Structure 1
Amino acid sequence: MNYFQLFSLPAEFSIDQNSVAHCYRELQKQYHPDKFVMLSDAERLTAMQKSTEINDAYQTLKNSCLRAQYLLLLAGFDIALEQKTLQDTDFLMQQMEWRETIESFTQDDEDEIEAFAENIQQQVNDLESTIEQQLVAESLEAAADSVRKLKFMLKLQTELEQLEEKLFD
């Protein structure tokens, strides 16, 4: 059973996160290992495995990048462990510029950091929209490239958040 089936959702990129969270809580109520403490070792092991599967599914479905990778995997296109790099030189150059910008920020740049963060969030939103369209069109190679870009953008967001904590806490 795949994660979408487990959560009774269509295998689509765009899913209702409230439904994911609600279903997760309901499944955990049903399969939480603490409910099986008085049963046999085999039954406890089965409950623990099911609970782990539910947790893995939830982490995957609530994260746009992991969800896109999982949809690609379901379509027979596994990019999780690949070593392939992006061939988009414009994006690679843009990556370098973004990293240099982050490295140049100081405590005096609070407004610029906020604007930069908004720009990066817009880039993430645009990539998620592109990925959704590519998956619907079954353009798997293009979707895989977009997922690689999204991974970078999400990592960039994390680095920016860490910089903000360092500068302003």
Structure 2
Amino acid sequence: MVADDHFSLFDLPARFDVDVQALERAWRAVAAQVHPDRYATASPAERRVAMQWAARANEAYRQLRDPLLRARYLCEQGGVDLQTESNTAMNSAFLMQQMQWREMLDDARHDPAVFATLETELGEARRQMRDTLATLLDERQDYAAAGAKVREWMFVEKLAQELAAARPTD
């Protein structure tokens, strides 16, 4: 079994807009081929290789089934170093939106109406980011712009996690 990247491992086109059902079927087929139980009576080296392939298939599947991780992977495959730990540069409109959402998060801790509004806005932001990334990655192959959008989406996901943790109690 030879595969240069996650998509070729599953014989899928390298696209952001992936057919999730085809991915699931392909992962199951690959997982069945390399499952360590199939190599129980094989040599230690063959068992080790099967475990490595199974781990690789599982990690590839984990990354490709999650839209944000898939976008990150495609950007990295396209030569973009996302520098997620050190690159915090974002456009000014998104920075202003971040500040507004942060203020809403503070209010949402005590106000269910603000909580619901922020939850809705973050859901819409996610949808817009998925749509934008599909265009940037699949149609334009603009990995640099997609990388900037991925960093924004990572912020949205972090904020959504904080919002979930701050859910008001009744």
Task: List runs of 5+ in structure 2 lacking aligned partners.
Answer: none
Distance 1:31 1:10, change over 3 A: same
Counterpart of 2:164 in structure 1 is 161
Equivalent residue pairs, number: 166
**SS of the residue 1:104 aligns to:** helix
What RMSD over aligned residues (CA atoms) do the two structures have, in Å?
A: 1.9
2:65 pairs with 1:62: yes
Counterpart of 2:140 in structure 1 is 137
Deviation at 1:50, TM superposition (A): 0.3
Deviation at 1:138, TM superposition (A): 2.2
Using the size of structure 1 for normalisation, the TM-score is 0.88
- Higher mean displacement: 53-62 or 84-93: 84-93
Using the size of structure 2 for normalisation, the TM-score is 0.88
**SS of the residue 1:124 aligns to:** helix
Counterpart of 1:128 in structure 2 is 130
2:17 to 4, 14, 17: 14
Task: List runs of 5+ in structure 1 lacking aligned partners.
Answer: none
Counterpart of 2:121 in structure 1 is 119
Matches of 1:80 and 1:4, distance apart in 2: 23
Percent identity for Structure 1 against Structure 2: 33
2:89 pairs with 1:86: yes
**SS of the residue 1:168 aligns to:** coil
Deviation at 1:3, TM superposition (A): 0.6
Matches of 1:114 and 1:38, distance apart in 2: 56
Matches of 1:30 and 1:126, distance apart in 2: 38
1:129 counterpart letter in structure 2: D
Structure 1 segments (4+ residues) deviating >6 Å:
none
- 8 Å CA contact 1:127, 1:146 repeated in 2: yes
**SS of the residue 2:32 aligns to:** helix
2:134 counterpart letter in structure 1: E
